[in-house]
Amino acid sequence: FFSTQQSSNIMYAYESVHAQTQRWNIAMAVIAGVCGVVAVGSIASLVSPTTTLYAPAATAVRPMTQVAAPVPVSRMAAQRQAAYVEAAQAQPVEETIIYQAAAPAQSWAPLAGLLAIPAAVVAFLLNRSNQAKTAAAGVGAAALLSATPALAADVKLGGDSGQLAFVPSSVTISAGESVTWTNNAGFPHNIVFDEDEIPEGVNAAALSHEDYLNAKGDQVSTTFNTPGEYSYYCEPHQGAGMQGKVIVN
């Protein structure tokens, strides 16, 4: 049987594991959410008709106007005037410019974003594994606690100063809880329930511990499931008034 402190330690351990799992679940949800958003945005960018993964070299041709300075024809000879006038007219030429365009910034985003998909899957699987471990721990703790009687009261067999008595002589518990008797002084002792002083239908022999407790620290326990009052006594010291009572609510 486990003491009240041991039962509390078991519940504390389970609650600690549960709290850690909650924090892990929140972290995994954030990671999976970010990865999902990046992946969706990247896929959308990948299938967009405006996205190019590689930018080719671009060639542009633009017209350029070259204008010659006006020539003072008034001072020229007549025979050369026509040539100067023709030279002063605008002469269109073409200029060819070749340059290398930089790849768009979003070109590599789809490829990088696709890596978020396996990352999200891994985070999901790790989360499920952690949840399974926590569930197993919870089931184990619940099974252990259900198999352990709920200890509600401790009674000494014999007072610290050697008196022949149950200390305390009366205890009150709830249905389903247990009382533990510990051999303390003036032994041997035992615990015998009076069949006329217990609730109807309850087996007094099943509650009693008639074997003598002969060593200090020996313990026995009884679980009470039926509400009512239970009177008991120590058989070797009944004549000395060593009697006790358990009240079950």
Please identify every residue annotated as catalytic. Answer: 189, 234, 237, 242
How buried is 165 (Cβ within 10 angstroms: 0-12 exposed, 13-18 middle, 19+ buried)? Answer: buried
How far out from the chain centre does Cα 92 lie? 76
| Cα–Cα dist 249/247, whole Å | 7
List the one residue out of 233, 246, 234 whose CA is nearest residue 187.
234
List the one residue out of 54, 45, 140 whose CA is nearest residue 103.
54
| Cα–Cα dist 23/78, whole Å | 99
Phi/psi region, residue 162 (left: phi>0; alpha: psi -120 to 50; beta: rest), is left
How buried is 228 (Cβ within 10 angstroms: 0-12 exposed, 13-18 middle, 19+ buried)? Answer: middle
Place of tokens 């003491």: 3
Q: Are the beta carbons of 189 and 236 closer than 8 angstroms?
A: yes
Sequence-separated contacts (24+) of 19-22 with Cβ below 8 Å: 21/130, 21/131, 21/134
Structure token digits, residue 74? 């008034």
Q: Are the beta carbons of 160 and 185 closer than 8 angstroms?
A: yes
